[in-house]
Structure 1
Amino acid sequence: MAENTSIEWTRSEDGTPGSTWNPVTGCTKISDGCTNCYAETFAERWRGTAGHHFENGFDITLRPDRLRLPMTWRTPRRVFLNSMSDLFHTDIPDHYIAQVFAVMALTPQHTYQVLTKRHGRMKSLLSRPAFWHLVAEQGREHFTGCQEDWLAVGAMLGGQPLPNLWLGVSVEDQTWADIRIPALLETPAAVRFLSCEPLLGPVDLKQAVITMGSERGHGLTTSFVHASGCCERGLHGIDWVIAGGESGPRARPMHPQWARHLRDQCEMAGVPFFFKQWGQHAPEDHGHDRGRVALIDAQGRTWTEGEAPAQQDTLRMRRVGKTQAGRLLDGRHHDAFPAR
C-alpha cells in the first residue's frame, strides 16, 4: 500500500504530503459515519483475489510485516495510523496494539495521528498503567535493537502521554459528540482532535457534561474547546477540529450551516479549524448549476427535487463530485493545524 497520502489534514503546514501506516487492515461498522466507508468499499473489491493484499476483503487482518515501516522513513513526517482500520477494534489483541505503540515511542521524529470510533477501548487501554508496562514488554521483545533505554515509554509510565501522539475521535453528529468527546478528554494525549467527517448533523461543542465531574458527585458542564492559554493542559479541551462532507457513490449531503457553526465555535475558542472538503455535494449558491439536486434542512432531512414539503426551510445542494465541490467555506480555505 502507498506510503504517501493525499489526505489534506495529514500533510505538513508547508504542504509536504504525509503518510499512512496500516499495521492492521479491516474493520466493522459501528455508527452512522461508517455507512459508506471508503476503506471497506476499496478492500472488498479484491476479496477472494488470491495473493492480493486484500484477499480477505475488509476482515480484520494483522500486518506484522508492516510494524517496522516507520523506522525506515528517514524524513520526519505526519503519519495517519490505520487509515484502513480502527486501532482500538475489539478484535485486535492488546499485545499487538502495544507493539504499535512501541514503534511510535521508538520513532519520536514522526507525528502520529490516531483516529478512532472505539472511544471506550481507547480510554480503557491508554489510561491503565498496565497497558504501558505491556508496551515496554512488547518493545523489549520485538524491537530490542532499536532503543535501549525506552525513554518515551518510561515517560508514559510516569503519567505523561507520548509527545508525538495526536489522538482523535470521529464525531458525525451530536449523539456521538456527547458520547465520544468526554472519553477523549479523559484519555492521555499530547494533542486531542475531532474529525467531524462525514458531518451528518449539527454539533454543538458546548452540550456535553464531562463524565468525570459527575463521577465525583457534581455535574460539570463546559465547552469542549477552550481558548489557548485559558487553562492548564489536562482534561480541559480539544486542540483541533476537522470538518468535512461525505464523498463516494452514496454520499449524503452536508448542510453548510453545520460546518459554519463548528468553524465559529472554534474561532471563538481559539482552536484551530480545518475544513477538509464539501464532499460529493456543494451548495447550489456557490455557482453550481449542474448535477443532481438534493434538498436538505438544518436537521439533516433530505429530499429529491420536488419532494420537499412546501413549508420546509430547505437548501439546494448539487451533486458535482468531490473535486468540483472543492474546499472553500464562505470563500476561503480553513487549513489551521495545532501549534505542536
Structure 2
Amino acid sequence: MATNSAIEWTEVTWNPVTGCDRVAAGCDNCYALSLAKRLKAMGAEKYQNDGDPRTSGPGFGVTVHPASLTQPYRWRGSKVVFVNSMSDLFHAKVPVDFMRDIFDVVRETPQHTYQVLTKRAHRMARLADKLDWPDNLWMGVSVESFDAVDRIDHLRATPAAVRFLSCEPLLSALPNLDLREIDWVIAGGESGPRARPMDPAWVEDIRDQCVSADVAFFFKQWGGRTPKANGRELDGRTWDDMPDLSAAVG
C-alpha cells in the first residue's frame, strides 16, 4: 500500500529505494536519517542496511527494493506520489537500470502523478538522455541556499513535463532566481530540535519572484521545533499553488 504523507504538497509516499548520504548543508538535520534509525530498531525490513557512519547512519544504507515496484499498480484512484521520500533516486549507488524500472512503473500508471526530488542534479543531468521520461513525472531539485542554485540549470536540462524547486529547509536568501522553464517553487523552514532559523524576508522575496514570473508558489511551513509549530501563513494567507495536475495525468 501507499503510505499516506503528512507533507502538504503530496498525498502518499513510495520508496522503491531507501537510504542516502549527506552531501550538502541542507542534509545536516535530515529527518529521513533519524527516521531510518528508529525504523531499524523497530525491525522494519527496508531499514536493516547500515550506511557509512561518516555520511549516513543505521538503517540508512542505500538499498533498492524491487518488490516495491509493483505497489502503484494496486492503488485505487489517482494519487499524487512523492517518490523516494527516504532516499535520492539519483544517488550514485542507485543503478541506472533500476531508475529505468521506476520510470516504467510511472509510465504504466498514468492515473497517478509522481514527484521526484534530488540534490544530485549533476547525475540527473548526465543521465537525462538515457531515461525515457513519462509525462506524469514531475522532477525537482532542492535549492536550500544560494550555493545550490546551479542545480536549477541542471534541472532545465531534463525533458521533465513539470520542473520544480524545493527551497526547504531554506538556509539563505535566493535573490534573482532564474525561473525560466520552472513550473513550481516550494519554500519552507527547517523543523526539529536543531532547526536553523529562516528570515521571513527570504520567503517573501521568493514568493514575489514567483508571482512576477507567473510560477506556482507553495509555502510549506515556517518551521521550528515541530513542522507545525509556527504555522504556514505568509502575509495573512496560505500559499498552496501547484502546477496543473491535468497537464501531467493522462
Amino acid aligned to 1:45: R
Instruction: Give the Cα separation in 1 of the matches to 2:101 and 2:143.
Output: 27
Instruction: Give the Cα separation in 2 of the matches to 1:334 and 1:106.
Output: 32
Equivalent residues in 2 for 1:189-200 (5 A)?
A: 189-200=160-171
Deviates more, 1:1-10 or 1:197-206: 1-10
Equivalent residues in 2 for 1:173-322 (5 A)?
A: 173-177=145-149, 179-206=150-177, 224-225=178-179, 236-280=180-224, 321-322=226-227
Structure-1 residue corresponding to 2:4: 4
Cα–Cα, structure 1 residues 325 and 69, in superposed 2: closer, same or farther, change >3 Å? same
Deviation at residue 51 of structure 1 after TM alignment: 5.8
CA-based RMSD: 1.6
Structure-1 residue corresponding to 2:21: 28
CA contact (8 A) 1:193 1:240 kept: yes
TM-score (ref. length: structure 2): 0.90
Deviation at residue 47 of structure 1 after TM alignment: 3.7
Amino acid aligned to 2:22: K
Instruction: Give the Cα separation in 2 of the matches to 1:170 and 1:110.
Output: 22
Deviation at residue 48 of structure 1 after TM alignment: 5.9
Q: Do residues 163 (structure 1) and 156 (structure 2) align?
A: no
Long gaps (5+) in structure 2: 50-58
Instruction: Give the Cα separation in 1 of the matches to 2:44 and 2:170.
Output: 36
Cα–Cα, structure 1 residues 199 and 3, in superposed 2: closer, same or farther, change >3 Å? same
Equivalent residues in 2 for 1:6-85 (5 A)?
A: 6-10=6-10, 18-47=11-40, 50=43, 52-56=45-49, 57-85=59-87
Deviation at residue 269 of structure 1 after TM alignment: 1.0
- Aligned with 1:67: secondary structure? helix
CA contact (8 A) 1:49 1:55 kept: no
Long gaps (5+) in structure 1: 11-17, 133-155, 207-223, 226-235, 281-318
CA contact (8 A) 2:90 2:123 kept: yes
CA deviation map 1:62-110 (0-9, x unaligned): 1111111111112111100000000000001111111111101111111
Misfit runs of 4+, over 4 Å: 48-52
Count of paired positions? 236
Amino acid aligned to 2:233: L
CA contact (8 A) 2:82 2:114 kept: yes
- Aligned with 2:144: secondary structure? coil
Instruction: Give the Cα separation in 2 of the matches to 1:244 and 1:51.
Output: 30
Amino acid aligned to 1:258: W
- Aligned with 2:47: secondary structure? coil
CA contact (8 A) 1:114 1:166 kept: yes
Structure-1 residue corresponding to 2:105: 103
Cα–Cα, structure 1 residues 189 and 65, in superposed 2: closer, same or farther, change >3 Å? same
TM-score (ref. length: structure 1): 0.67
Cα–Cα, structure 1 residues 265 and 106, in superposed 2: closer, same or farther, change >3 Å? same
Larger relative CO (CA 8 A, sep 6+): 1 or 2?
Answer: 2
Percent identity of equivalent pairs:
53
CA contact (8 A) 2:223 2:229 kept: no
Instruction: Give the Cα separation in 1 of the matches to 2:70 and 2:227.
Output: 34
Amino acid aligned to 1:337: M
Cα–Cα, structure 1 residues 237 and 205, in superposed 2: closer, same or farther, change >3 Å? farther
Q: Do residues 123 (structure 1) and 111 (structure 2) align?
A: no
CA contact (8 A) 2:79 2:111 kept: yes
CA contact (8 A) 1:275 1:327 kept: yes
